[in-house]
Structure 1
Amino acid sequence: MPSPSSIQDLLRHQGHIGLVKGLRVGHFTDPRRPTGCTAVLCPEGAVGGVDVRGAAPGTRETDLLHPSNLVQQVHGIMLSGGSAWGLDAATGAVRWLEEQGVGLDIGVGRIPLVPAAVLFDVMMGDWLVRPDAAAGYAACRNASTDRAAEGSVGAGAGAVVGKVFGLDRAMKGGIGSASFTVDGVTVGAIIACNALGDVFNPFTAQLLAGTRAKDGLQLRGTRDALLDGEEPRPVLAGSNTTIGVVATDAQLSKVQAHRMAVVAHDGLARAINPVHTMSDGDSLFALGTGQSGKSLGMMTLCTLAAEAVAVATARAILLAHSVEVANQPRLPSACDMGVC
C-alpha cells in the first residue's frame, strides 16, 4: 500500500486504527463546548508501551508500561481533552470494561488497566466543562471496529495548533487516523493534534495549518516568523500537546512495544514543527494485540508506525472544521485557508 502524498491522497486514505485486529475505538464529544475523549480498547489484552517526549505531559498509569515492570498487558488507552481533569475519563473506561468482565484476573475480580493521556483545551469555552468518568464510559460504549470519525471530535474536539503568537493567529486542530497493512499485519495510529507548532504534509512539506499572518488571512508559519525575529508570546506550560496511540496486530514483546512508541514519534517530527517543546506534553502509546499471529520484524513495523502517525496527524488537521467560541477569536480550519 503506497503512502499518500498529495492533499487529496491524504484525504482519500482508507486506512484507520480500527483495522488492527483486537481493537475497538470510540469517541465522546461534549455538546456543551469543544472537548471530548477517545477510547482505544483492547478487551482481549494487548502488550503496551509508551514514550513521552513533550516536557509538560498529563498522563495516568504510564509507569506500568515500562518494559521492566510486572504487568504485561493493558486493556485500553484513553485520550482526552480537559487537561489534568480529563484524566478522570479513564475511570469511566475502567468501569465499562469491568462490567464486560475484562481486566487482569486477581482472583476476587478483574482490574482493567487503562493508561491515559490528556491535552489542554480548557480555553475553548467554559473551562468547567471537561471530560469526566461519564464521558469516558460513553466513549467506550460507542467503541467499534468501524472507522471512527475524524477531525473536530473526541479528544480532538477542542484541539488548536499554531499558538506561538497567540490564539488570535492560531488554527483548529483535531484527531485523525491511518493504517498500513503488509503481509497480513496491520499497523495503525490515531492522533489528537493540539500542537504548539504548525502541521505539514509529511511527504511534501506543504504547510497545512498553524500560525497565521497578523491579518489572519493567510498562513505565516511559526518557523519563518521566528527566523524573521517575531517575538513569541509567553506560552503556558502544558497548554499544548499531541497525544495518540500506534497499534499493531503483530506479536510484540514489551521491549518491542516500547521501541515502537519511541520510533512512532518520528512521524510527529515529520508532520509538526516545532514539536516536543517545553510547552507540549507529546505522548504516544503503543499496543500489540498479536492477533494476526505474525510479526514482520521491527524494522518494518517501526517504519509503518512512523508512517501511520505522520498520515494520521495530517488527517487530524485536514478533517477539522472551524470553531467559534463566545469571547474568543474564530479558529479557521485548514480548508478555510484554501489548503484542501
Structure 2
Amino acid sequence: DSGVTVAALVVANAAGSVTDPETGALYGELSGGGRVAYPAAEVHEAARLRLAEVAARNAPPPLNTTLAVVATDAALSKAQAQKLAGTSHDGIARAVRPVHLLSDGDTVFALATGARPLAEGDPLALNEVLAAGADVVTRAIVRAVRAAESTEGPGGAWPSYEELYGG
C-alpha cells in the first residue's frame, strides 16, 4: 500500500525438496496463498519413480545452496536492511523442506536504494517491507524451479520440475 517496491532474484540449488512428497505440488505455491497446481496422481507417481531411479544412480551432491538478493527502493538503515535479509530467509523456508541444512549455504543479501522514505510517524512501516521480502523470495524460488532445465553430468542426472511434472 505504501508504494515501496520489493523484489528478489534467486539461484535455487537446495539440498531439501521444493515439492510436497504426497502431491508433487511446489511448497512455495502451497504457502503462497495463490493458485496451487496439483499434478495429476499418475504424473506424480511417474515423477516419484523417475526421481527414485536417478537417486539410485547419482552420487550425493556434496554442497548445495539457495542464494537470494532482495532489493527495495525504500530508505533503509543498515540495521533495517539486515533485518530485511533475515526475514527474507523465511521465504526460503516456505519453499524448501528441510531448509538450512549443514550442506546448504543458504544466504539472502538485501539492498536498498533509498528512493522512497518509509512513512513518518508509523513505527511499523518497515513491517510491510519485511513481509514482502519473504513473499518475493518464496515466489522467486518457485519461478527458479519452474524455469530450471534438466542437466546431466559426472555427478548424475538431475531432472527438472518441468521434465517431471510438465507445465
Could you state the TM-score of these two structures normalised by the residue count of structure 1?
0.37
Q: Compare the two structures and name the one with the higher helix fraction.
A: 2
Whether 1:310 aligns to 2:138 is yes
2:164 maps to a residue whose letter is M
Whether 1:329 aligns to 2:159 is no
For structure 1, the residue ranges without an aligned partner over 5 or more in a row are 1-181, 220-232
Runs of 4 or more consecutive aligned structure 1 residues displaced over 6 Å after TM superposition: none
Report if aligned partners of 1:218, 1:337 keep a CA contact under 8 Å in 2: no
Whether 1:251 aligns to 2:75 is yes
Report if aligned partners of 2:28, 2:94 keep a CA contact under 8 Å in 1: yes
The share of aligned pairs that are identical, in percent, is 39
Whether 1:294 aligns to 2:120 is no
1:319 maps to a residue whose letter is A
2:3 maps to a residue whose letter is G
Structure 2 CA distance, aligned partners of 1:248 and 1:333? 30
SS at match of 1:184: coil
The one of 76, 93, 104 equivalent to 1:269 is 93
1:270 Cα offset (Å)? 0.2
Q: Compare the two structures and name the one with the higher strand fraction.
A: 1
Report if aligned partners of 2:27, 2:96 keep a CA contact under 8 Å in 1: no
1:216 maps to a residue whose letter is R
Structure 1 CA distance, aligned partners of 2:102 and 2:77? 31
User: Could you say if the C-alpha distance between residues 335 and 194 of structure 1 is closer, same or farther in structure 2, counting changes exceeding 3 Å?
Assistant: same
Whether 1:242 aligns to 2:38 is no
- State the superposition RMSD in angstroms: 2.6
Which whole-Å deviations, capped at 9, do the CAs of 1:67-115 have from their partners, x for residues lacking one? xxxxxxxxxxxxxxxxxxxxxxxxxxxxxxxxxxxxxxxxxxxxxxxxx
SS at match of 1:249: strand
Structure 2 CA distance, aligned partners of 1:339 and 1:202? 17
Structure 1 CA distance, aligned partners of 2:89 and 2:51? 31
Structure 1 CA distance, aligned partners of 2:52 and 2:6? 36
Aligned length: 138
| Aligned pairs (5 A) from 1:1-340 | 182-199=1-18, 200-204=26-30, 213=48, 215-216=49-50, 236=62, 239-291=63-115, 293-295=116-118, 297-325=125-153, 327-340=154-167
Structure 2 CA distance, aligned partners of 1:258 and 1:330? 37
User: Could you say if the C-alpha distance between residues 290 and 243 of structure 1 is closer, same or farther in structure 2, counting changes exceeding 3 Å?
Assistant: same
1:183 maps to a residue whose letter is S
Could you state the TM-score of these two structures normalised by the residue count of structure 2?
0.72
1:334 maps to a residue whose letter is Y
Which whole-Å deviations, capped at 9, do the CAs of 1:192-218 have from their partners, x for residues lacking one? 11100111332426789xxx64x4267
